[in-house]
Amino acid sequence: MFRKILFPTDFSEGSMRAIQKFSKNNQSEVGECIILHVVDEGRLEELLNGYAYLYKGENKELRDIEEKLKAKAREKLSESADKCRKMMNANKLRIMVRFGIPYEEIVKVAEEENVSLILLPSHGRLGFSHEIFGSTTMRVLKKTKKPVLIIKTHEEE
């Protein structure tokens, strides 16, 4: 039995493939699953780069946008929570949304929650743009002390 699994998602096809493959191959019960989405602060800054002059209170605007993005992510996670709980064969499922640099937040949550496993897709949003693994997956693998299961999500051509 897995005591507690952390499953970070970027809502990509790769993330969905990872959870589907895990559910097909996992015969063990999962005590608790935490599904985490990290609103990427770097992407937000990229999006707003050059538009800052439009805002009088840039920090307030950024916080408002951050809160809206987090609320939308919570809504999206909530919509699929029950399906994910069943697919993971989990007794309990929690959703969590953070703001920051994805790999850093994944590592932090894994430590804070003392998870027994981090489940990651080999590729997420960027798909084939990385040869072996996605950059977030590689960074989590390098930075965490927790066990990591990487699910191959793209077949080689």
Distances in Å between the Cα of 5 and the Cα atoms of 42, 61, 74, 75, 104 are 26, 34, 18, 21, 17
Over residues 16-20, the mean pLDDT reads 88
Residue 103: pLDDT over 70: yes
Domain ranges (residues) in the chain: 2-151
Non-local (6+) Cβ contacts of 144 within 8 A are 106, 107, 110, 111, 118
Contact of 6 with 36, CB cutoff 8 Å: yes
The pLDDT tens digits for 35-52 are: 999 998 887 777 666 565
Residue range 2-151, CATH number: 3.40.50.620
**Whole-prediction pTM value?**
0.84
